[in-house]
Structure 1
Amino acid sequence: MIMGRVISNVVSTRKYNELQGFKLLVIQPYFGDVEDSFVAADEIGAGIGELVLVSRGSAVENGLSRKAPIDAAVVGIIDHEPLKKE
């Protein structure tokens, strides 16, 4: 699981049927390189600028409300930003 900030939405007019209804977000890792951004599915309502917890890998499918080809999902919204080590 990693922490990241939502920096954008992904808008897709055509996509795999099982992805219909999932909000797709661009996540920038909180720790690490800014260029390592990735897309994660969201079912809990995270928005741009929020700090979130993201689960990655094949086990993500077990936590979804329905079967879908997703390998990164937002699983929590962080209320208080932790101190970042410099």
Structure 2
Amino acid sequence: MFYGKVIGSVWATQKETGMDNLKLLVIQPMDFNGNEAGTPIIAADRIGAGVGERVIVSRGSPARTLFTDKMVPIDAMIVGIVDSFEVTKEAEEEAWKSRR
């Protein structure tokens, strides 16, 4: 999963079977300091996120498991809208060290 910000919407009048009624949003991955942290992606949304909101996104096969009755060709799914978060300075520094 990753943390990101909704920066736009995608309109597609023709979609694969199983994707009807799925809203598609453009998500900019973010770090916990509010900086961009990667390339924007398109994610499916069933919970009602909107442009400007901070979200949690699940990627890959875990995103597909949210559809128990059918296989849906999605790679990313919004699974939460973030109200707030707290990250200690020590935890943030440890995360940066482990990435180097």
| TM-score category (smaller protein) | 0.7 to 0.9
The amino acid that maps onto 2:23 is K
TM-score calculated relative to the size of structure 2: 0.74
Structure 2 unpaired stretches of 5+: 32-36, 93-100
Paired residues in the alignment total 82
Higher relative contact order (CA 8 A, sep 6+): 1
Q: Name the structure 1 match of 2:55.
A: 52
Structure showing the higher strand proportion among its residues: 1
The amino acid that maps onto 1:10 is V
Pick closer, same or farther for the CA change 1:15–1:4 going to 2, 3 Å: same
TM-score calculated relative to the size of structure 1: 0.84
The percent identity for this pair of structures is 46
Asked if the contact 1:58/1:71 (under 8 Å) is kept, the reply is yes
Aligned CA-pair RMSD? 1.7
Q: Name the structure 2 match of 1:18.
A: 18
| Residue 79 (str. 1) matches residue 94 (str. 2) | no
Q: Secondary structure at the match of 2:65?
A: helix
